[in-house]
Each structure stands twice: as C-alpha cells, then as structure tokens.
C-alpha cells in the first residue's frame, strides 16, 4: 500500500519545506509485528523491499494498523528523501490493465527482508 500517512503536509509539494517534511521524520516501510518477527526486523532497522521491478531500502516501523502480509510505504516523499534514492513508485507496474486500461493498483507484490 502507499497510503497518506502525513500529519504536517498535504502532498509531495510540501514535503521538502522545513516546517513540513522534516517534522514527519522521513519515509519508512510499515509492517505487522508478526511479519517483522518472521524476517528478524525490529523497529528502526533498515529493510530491503523488492520485487521483479526494483528494490528500495527503508527504515522499518512496526505497527498494529496492518494485516499480516500487507506492507505500506506512505506516499508524498521525493526520491531524494529515500536512503537509496528510490521511491515506492519504482516497485509498481506501469502496464495498463486489460479491463478498462487503468492502473493495476492491486498488482504490486513485494518481499521484505533485513538489509544484509
């Protein structure tokens, strides 16, 4: 998922301003405690999130908001805000769906692991 999870800026147009983005702390990957434990990840550790399209590195936030098997990388952060310069969009498919020619929102499967 790439939900809005920001309290101090409305969209990426504000994330670079000193009163907005830095107060949020930066991008992260959020996951369920059971998923984190299975991957030997702790809060604040750096994780690799990847699929066949790309790999991104993000700090981990363990949460009770998500179901097991679901991860979230909040939107709104620019590539330069990410530790490796790659945002969540690098993981998404840009192929249009056969039905309606729209975006394949539910087609972004990823794996998460501790950064080796």
pLDDT for 51 equals 96
Sign of CA dihedral 105, 76, 74, 47: positive
Q: How far apart are CA 35 and CA 97, in angstroms?
A: 30
Per-residue pLDDT of 3-58, as tens digits, reads 887 676 666 676 677 776 666 778 899 999 999 999 999 999 999 999 999 999 99
5 or 62, which is more confident? 62
Q: How far apart are CA 89 and CA 75, in angstroms?
A: 9
To the question of domain 21-114 being in CATH 3.20.20.70, the answer is no
Sequence ranges of the domains in the chain: 21-114
Per-residue pLDDT of 72-86, as tens digits, reads 998 878 888 888 888
């Amino acid at each position: 998922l790439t939900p809005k999870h920001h309290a101090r800026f409305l969209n990426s147009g504000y994330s670079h301003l000193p009163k907005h983005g830095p107060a949020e702390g930066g991008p992260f990957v959020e996951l369920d405690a059971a998923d984190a434990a299975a991957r030997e990840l702790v809060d604040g550790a750096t994780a690799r999130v990847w699929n066949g399209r790309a790999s991104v590195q993000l700090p981990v936030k363990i949460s009770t908001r998500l179901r097991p098997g679901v991860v979230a990388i909040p939107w709104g952060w620019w590539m330069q805000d990410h530790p490796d310069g790659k945002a969540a969009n690098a993981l998404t498919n840009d192929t249009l769906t056969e039905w309606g020619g729209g975006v394949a929102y539910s087609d972004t499967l990823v794996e998460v692991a501790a950064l080796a």
